[in-house]
Amino acid sequence: MKPRVSVIVPVYNEGEAILRCLERMLREMLLPAEVLVVHDMPEDTTVPYVEQVARTDPRVRAVLNTYGRGPANAIRFGIDTALAPVVVVTMADGCDDPRQIDELARLVDRGVVVAAASRYMPGGQQVGGPRLKRMMSRWAGRSLYTLARVGTRDATNSFKAYDTAFVREVGIESRTGFEIGLELTAKATRLRLPVAEIPTIWLDRPLGESHFDLGRFLLGYLRWYFFAYGRRLAREKLSGRTTPTGVVPAQRDPQDSTEFEQTA
């Protein structure tokens, strides 16, 4: 059976911890799905545990990213590999609520091109995380929602569902960090395509330490933040800004391989 949703999980040496993430995800999803655990190198410690799960659940696949290291390239590769008309990007660190994967996917089924899990709308909450990053993320989300009318109060959150055809049409220009979520939200806004949100409770990473470097990724986020405020664009003009996501592998950024944590 062809999956209705492809779940993209970028990983970097998660090891045995991936088992808990996959167990919760597979238990909560009801839609026909595939789970693509995308890793940068064959020796990644996550791979043996993913293969262990895959032997008993055919929905799960370990996928080797060939576009270049780092989470942005892993997400790009996962979307290009996906078989379903809807893709959901979620993290392996336990911050996201897997019960909401189906709900996000159904919003895309109903016609939105981006469905966001929102920490900042009524009913949403963020528990833990660095205070400065929380403040900047909340300010960016609220200002984009109010002034640029992007359709979500949490444009920077990576936990989103996308129309696969939309992503492949407009392309992905981001090559570092997790700015992809903001990029695709901004592009949908400029095309005047529908974006929706549902409330989510985000819990800070329960295991390990986040290596997210806000300073190094800030310029990328600012680029897409201001891009969202522009006038309406025609599809052909936006699609012409970049080559298709899978055509030209990105250059490797050796620092990116340690940054598989949730965005700001």
Instruction: Please tell me the distance from the alpha carbon of residue 68 to that of residue 251, in angstroms, as a whole number.
Output: 6
Please give the model's pTM, rounded to 2 decimal places. 0.87
Nearest 10 degrees: CA dihedral of 159, 175, 188, 113? -50
Give the number of other Cβ atoms within 10 Å of residue 134's Cβ. 17
Nearest CA among 183, 162, 161, 229 for reference residue 72: 183
Question: What are 233-260's pLDDT values in tens digits?
Answer: 988 877 656 544 443 333 334 444 434 4
**How many beta carbons lie within 10 A of that of residue 223, not counting itself?**
15
The pLDDT score that the predictor gives to residue 239 is 66
CB 91 within 8 A of CB 195: no
Structure tokens belonging to residue 158: 């990576």
Residues of the chain below pLDDT 70: 205-217, 239-264
pLDDT of 206: 55
- Which pair of tokens denotes residue 175? 């090559």
Which pLDDT score is estimated for 263? Answer: 46
DSSP per-residue codes, the chain:
---SEEEEEE-SS-TTHHHHHHHHHHHH--S-EEEEEEESSTT-TTHHHHHHHHTT-TTEEEEE--S-SSHHHHHHHHHHH--SSEEEE--SSS-S-GGGHHHHHHHHHTT-SEEEEESSSTT-EEESS-HHHHHHHHHHHHHIIIII--S-S-TT-S-EEEEHHHHHHH-----STTTHHHHHHHHHHHTT--EEEEE-EEE--SSS-----HHHHHHHHHHHHHHTTSPP--HHHHHTTS--TTTSPPPP-GGGGG--S---
Tell me the C-alpha distance between 110 and 96, whole Å: 22
pLDDT of residue 33: 98
Cα four-point dihedral sign 61, 67, 69, 73:
negative
Please say whether the beta carbons of 224 and 177 come within 8 A: no
**Is 36 in contact with 18 (CB distance < 8 Å)?**
no
